[in-house]
Chains A and B, each alone.
Chain A
């Protein structure tokens, strides 16, 4: 039977899976970043997610809020750069949206993801089309909402596919935020590293929750 909600243990599994993907693709992400940024996205995200997982293993969170705060604060205080505050804010706002809940149904997950997106928008001041993680995150949430009537797993799978498509769609864009923006037209033709790690974030959510179909 298809699942209808995520537990805190599922969120922890999501964090671990995302860590695994960041470690596995560390060199490739850094390679993308060296083309248009400063060659540190893979190493920073791998280091930050490793710290976040260690923190969860030391102190197991009991609520969605505690999980989000733990992961978010660890990323903010261990990643640095732009990725630290952006991903950190995403998890902090996600957690704050879930609050004392111990499970999220599809609607509550959609609301928490949306709160995370709004945090990233406020912190980074980027808009769709700027060639940033927003270009994967925004379409993922729109797809999630559109598929939510089909159930939790279908919505997560739709979000994963849309995040990957959003990532691919950053290739022809000209960067307008972050260090890539200094390249101007020369940023065209490279996939954005932040959108790529965000696509992995939804890939991790889909596999960790068995929504991979």
Chain B
């Protein structure tokens, strides 16, 4: 394992030090591993909180700031944060208008956020609403699994609902909007190589040079199937087709995220995006907005994911609203 670290067990702690000094608009509670905006939540504004395992940067700490999150809890690498972190973030970020928890559908995240919401409401009386994202079409039979995973839609949801929160909308309205965004989005990912969790020190899975994994999540958990390596055009088809088969994206503007998993250069991501948009247009999908880059990663895994969101004028307006975070910044 060759990594830019001091100590495999201190990776998250040390990274939080760097995040804080690199971004003066943020402050970090190092004891509880929470990233906050430097300015406290404005009175009357609902606070948006997310969090999850580390190793998916810029998710979630990189989306703390104006127009997105108010706080993000960092867990160990690929491990959910704990309820006491989330309770602390909930109490601190609440301005009196309540708190929305944005949770990716992974067993640990869901259980820890559930315990946190119970504790926060009973101990402090803060109103908490939750949305669980589950956009990954790679998980086919959710009756016999823990359900679809929450992946790329999480980023789009944090942006859109974050803009609505800045407008001053109330907690119930934001929870409904978040549910609608999640229901309108679908994702599919693939890996060319495994990631290496620092504490484990070696690749999570073996992937031969001539094979790739289709339908992966963001923790090195294997995907739908392993197939022979193919060209970018064919990979794009293997990602887009299951998405279009699962949800109707015609007749409405779409927001498209072509996301890198952390180990593929932008040259390849743009190349992939060109292939994806060509397939979408040929399938009658109107691309209204696009985003290409590393937004929800899996350490140094090479590969990418595609996320489509069926939008409308309201969602596009919220998407275009100003945002100022380390991971997304425009209009300011």
The residues of B that contact A79 with a CB separation of less than 8 Å are 79, 82
A122 to B284, CA, bound (A): 46
- Most B CB within 10 A of own CB, among A47, A82, A84, A182: A182
Assess the B220–A82 pair: CB atoms within 8 A: no
Assess the A177–B199 pair: CB atoms within 8 A: no
Which of A38, A181, A183 contacts B219, CB < 8 Å? A38
Asked if B260 is at the interface (CB within 8 A of a chain A CB), the reply is no
Assess the A30–B144 pair: CB atoms within 8 A: no
Assess the A182–B217 pair: CB atoms within 8 A: yes
The residues of A that contact B83 with a CB separation of less than 8 Å are 76-77, 85
Tell me the minimal C-beta distance from A38 to chain B in angstroms.
Answer: 4
Asked if B81 is at the interface (CB within 8 A of a chain A CB), the reply is yes
Assess the A44–B76 pair: CB atoms within 8 A: yes
A82-B108, A178-B146, A181-B144 given; A40·B217 CB < 8 A: no
Assess the A124–B199 pair: CB atoms within 8 A: no
Assess the B115–A81 pair: CB atoms within 8 A: no
The residues of B that contact A86 with a CB separation of less than 8 Å are 111
The digit string for A169-181, where 1 denotes a CB below 8 A from any CB of B, is 0000010111111
A25 to B85, CA, bound (A): 28
Residue total for B at the interface (Cβ-Cβ under 8 A): 37
Assess the A182–B221 pair: CB atoms within 8 A: yes
A174 to B257, CA, bound (A): 33
Q: How many A-B residue pairs have CB under 8 A?
A: 110
Assess the A181–B111 pair: CB atoms within 8 A: no
Assess the B200–A176 pair: CB atoms within 8 A: no
The digit string for B96-120, where 1 denotes a CB below 8 A from any CB of A, is 0000000000111001100100000
A79-B82, A80-B112, A179-B219 given; A40·B77 CB < 8 A: yes
A37 to B53, CA, bound (A): 14
Asked if B124 is at the interface (CB within 8 A of a chain A CB), the reply is no
A180 to B111, CA, bound (A): 16
A39-B197, A124-B111 given; A179·B82 CB < 8 A: no
Assess the B197–A177 pair: CB atoms within 8 A: no
Asked if A4 is at the interface (CB within 8 A of a chain B CB), the reply is no
The residues of B that contact A43 with a CB separation of less than 8 Å are 9, 76, 199-200
Asked if B78 is at the interface (CB within 8 A of a chain A CB), the reply is yes
Assess the B115–A76 pair: CB atoms within 8 A: yes
Asked if A186 is at the interface (CB within 8 A of a chain B CB), the reply is yes
Assess the A34–B107 pair: CB atoms within 8 A: no
Assess the B111–A82 pair: CB atoms within 8 A: yes
The residues of A that contact B111 with a CB separation of less than 8 Å are 82, 85-86, 123-124
Assess the B222–A39 pair: CB atoms within 8 A: no
A184 to B224, CA, bound (A): 8
Within 8 A of B (CB), among A149-187: 174, 176-184, 186
A79-B82, A80-B108 given; A176·B221 CB < 8 A: no
Tell me the minimal C-beta distance from A49 to chain B in angstroms.
Answer: 15
Q: Which residue of A lies closest to B143 (CB)?
A: A176
Asked if B35 is at the interface (CB within 8 A of a chain A CB), the reply is no
- Interface pairs A-B: 5 shortest CB-CB: A181-B145, A81-B108, A82-B108, A85-B111, A38-B219
Give 27 A-B contacts (CB < 8 Å), ordered by A residue. A38-B197, A38-B204, A39-B200, A39-B204, A40-B78, A40-B197, A40-B199, A43-B199, A44-B79, A76-B83, A76-B84, A76-B115, A77-B84, A81-B53, A81-B108, A82-B111, A83-B108, A85-B115, A174-B144, A176-B145, A177-B107, A179-B146, A179-B219, A181-B146, A182-B149, A184-B141, A186-B222
